[in-house]
Structures are given as structure tokens and as C-alpha cells.
Amino acid sequence: MTSTRTGLIKSLTVPLDGKAFPGGLPSFLVRDDVLCWTRREAGLAGFGEIARFTATGPDRFLEADIWWRHLVLEADVTDAVELPGTGPVAFGSFAFSKTSSHGSRLIVPEIVVGVRDNQAWLTQLSFDDGMLTEAGALAALERWLGTGPVPGAAPSPEDTTAAADSRGDAAEGAVPGKSGGAVVRPVTLAAGATLHTGSLTEEAWMSAVAAGVAEIRTGALEKLVLARDVVATIPAGVHAANVLRELAARYRECWTYGVDGLVGATPEMLIQVEGRTAQARVLAGTLDRRDAHGEDGAPMEYATRVLAGSEKQRHEHEIAIQSLTSQLAPFSEAMNAHDEPFILELPNVWHLASDVKAELAEVEGHVPTCLALINALHPTAAVCGTPTQVAGALIRKLEHLDRGPYAGPVGWLDAAGNGEWGIALRGAVIESADTVRLYAGCGIVDGSQPEAELAETWAKFRPMLESLGIRS
């Protein structure tokens, strides 16, 4: 466990004119070192860093929770907006496994821009003794964006033409989106890009799936989630800002995230907390949209027939729902979930999905924090399997892979206890200037076919491949 900077943190939050940037929060994804969490036009973008916490091991969530609560306990907060995500904010990414050597982290930025419900704001955070002012916060934002004066909003990305030769530069090639849309760089096929299998070859991974099915049939477990990785090398360079803008534009129903080289667009919300209300979105059951080509009827009719009508898919989904609700129940006064899953339509796949909502109860006189809830919920059956301990041990045996932050919690939290934490799916880790490692996984149950599961991983790789300019 390590941390940087201690002392009294100060924050100033002032409103911005959201109408001045119709592209919404994605308009600010112009630097490769941006911290972000965005869906549709809403979300948060962070710039710079004034404090950081890192930890490994089984207590990483609780240790991070203690560090954050101690940091903001006596914070000097001036907040003219008072919405979730205003005031002191930290972005975070946590390792999937308690045995991982990957450092879980919370990062406190210097500047945060937020957009929510047609409102926008700017927050500056500091440990310095000087007074924070609106003019100073706007000037700091200008420095990070590399622009001229900010008229209460973000400048057009046409003005941010600095070359993206390093992760900290403003991304090149950004163009203004249409009103109400995100900022998008047209994708061309990445010249000279190569794609290689990662820890296991496709044949070895399919053998791992077969081994997992065999274990399930012994009765040792009901479900297992197995992941695999592929490595893309792009001679022209991997630029996080370009990737994030592509994902935000193409996958508007997902939550696009960027934290310390971890980038992606997840369709699954592990936990969202606003006051005493917690919500989650559970996914299990997947169908590649390309499978509908040539089938009779409308594509959604095909998805309904194949997904909702599949005993295997519904069983996998029910396991995932029970996993989350049983772990959330001790922290809740009341809880409700869909009686029947709905079909979530994404550009690459359809999913069986269910939304869960709970009113949080006081535990030992306090409403549980986001990270305390994550400590209880993670890993869910959607990304690990069930029973958890058996599935986790089998994952370590069969995957031959340290997932790092893949399938771990990623998101943000504020000083008031609010936060949004997704599961880091449909993502990748940028490992060097021209190399990125992509991850995808599948839920394995009795009846899973290795060839079909391999094909499903390629469907789940597709969002990242497309955002990198690689056609799968």
C-alpha cells in the first residue's frame, strides 16, 4: 500500500455553460492522459494528478476506502453546483484478483469537468495554501487543454492541434461532432497493425473451456468465466484519446472509461450510488449481432428468440443475478429487480440484461460507501463464476493469465459518498506507445461449446479493435 500527498485538500466547483459544448463530456477527451467516465453526453473528465493511492491484495478496496475517507474528512470544499461528482473526486481502477501483482489505484486529479442532466461544472483541487478562484480554475483547464480562453465551456477541438507524440499531448485529428453528438475521429484501417494471441493460443484456450465444462459436470461449480487476451501492435502509435472518443461515439449505451492506460466501454454497471440509492446492471447471455445475418424476421426478433428462448443463456443470467442480489441484500432495506431480463442492444452484440435497484440501510450507524459495497460484491458470477472461491481457483489454473485490471471495478467516487463503478469489460491496457493488450471473456456453463465461446470472444474484442482501426 502506497500513497502520495497528505494534508488538507481544497476544492472549488463552479458551473459551466453546457450549451457551449453540444458534444457534451466527450468533447473533453483530447489528451491521452485524460481520466474519464462517460455515457452519452454525460460524465466526468479529469486532468493532472495531485494525489494517488495504490494497493494490492484482498484488502485493496477497504484500504482505498480508508485512504479516501481520511483524505476528504476535513476537506475545504466550496461547491456552487452540489451534484453527484462535484467537489473532491477520485478516479479508480482495481485489479480483478486479490492475488494479482497489478496495483489497484485511486487518482485525484487537479481539474475535473462534469456534465449531467444538461448541467456542467468545473472543479479544481489542490493541497496548496493559496485561494482557489473561478478564474484560476478556468486558467488551469486552459493549460491542460492547450487552448485559448474558455468561455464557460470547452473549446472546439479544432483548436487543440498539438501532435499526439506522447501520452500527455492533446490528441490530433479531433473534429467537432454534430450537435448532441460526441467528438469523433474517422477511423481508417491501422496501417501495418498486427494482432497476436496472448497468454494462450486459440486451441489452448478452447481446451481450457472444455476442461472448465468437465469440472462443471462434476458438480464442483455451476458457472465459470474464462478470459483470454490478444496483443495488437500499431506502428503509427496507440493514442488513448482517439480510442476513447471512438468508443464514446459508437457505444453510447455503455460507460466509456479511461484510467492510467486502461481504456474501454463497459455495458455492465457493478454499482452506482447516489445518496442512499444503489443501482446495478447485470449482464449474462451474449449473442453476436452478425449471427442474425440471413435469418428470418427482424434482428431483434431473432435476438429475442435465441437469447430469451435459450435455457443455457437464461440459466447463466439467473446465476449472475442471484450472485449480485444475495451479496447486496445485507446492505439494503429494500431491493427490486426485473422479473424478466431485457435484451440490451449494442453495436456488436445483444445481451440479456437486468437492472437492480436498492435502498441502502445503515450499517453500524453509516450508509455503506461505494468501495465497501464493491468489497462485498466483487467478483460477481458475471465475471468469475459460482461458487466464487472454486471458480477463482479454477480461473487461475486454466487461464494462465494475470487479468490485471480487466474485469475489475473501474469508475469514480466523490466525497459525499456518491460514485459509479463499472466492470472493466470490452477494454484493453495500453502497454507501450505502439502496443495494446485486449481482453475478453465468456461465461461457461454445462452445455458450453468451445468453438462458440471462442467466437464470442471475438465479438467482444470488436469494440476495441474497431476503435484502434483494426477490422476483425
What positions carry a catalytic annotation? 223, 268
Residue in the structure block whose three cell numbers are 462443471:
216
Instruction: State how far the Cα of 446 lies from the Cα of 227, in Å rounded to an integer.
Output: 17
**Strand residue runs (E) in 179-221:** 194-197
Question: What secondary structure does DSSP assign to 437-471, as a single string?
Answer: EEEEEEEE-TT--HHHHHHHHHHHHHHHHHHTT--
Instruction: State how far the Cα of 90 lies from the Cα of 49, in Å rounded to an integer.
Output: 10
Decide if 258 contacts 238 (C-beta within 8 A). Answer: no
Distances, alpha carbon 27 to alpha carbons 113, 160, 239, in Å:
11, 11, 16
Instruction: State how far the Cα of 257 lies from the Cα of 92, in Å rounded to an integer.
Output: 10
Instruction: State how far the Cα of 190 lies from the Cα of 466, in Å rounded to an integer.
Output: 10
Residue 396, C-alpha cell as written in the block: 487461475
List beta partners, residue 354: 282
The neighbour count for residue 371, using CB atoms within 10 Å, is 27
Amino acid at 323: S
Query: What is the chain's Cα-based Rg?
Result: 22
Residue 398, C-alpha cell as written in the block: 486454466
Q: C-alpha angle 104/456/191, rounded to 5°?
A: 75
Decide if 243 contacts 183 (C-beta within 8 A). Answer: no
Instruction: State how far the Cα of 432 lies from the Cα of 382, in Å rounded to an integer.
Output: 30
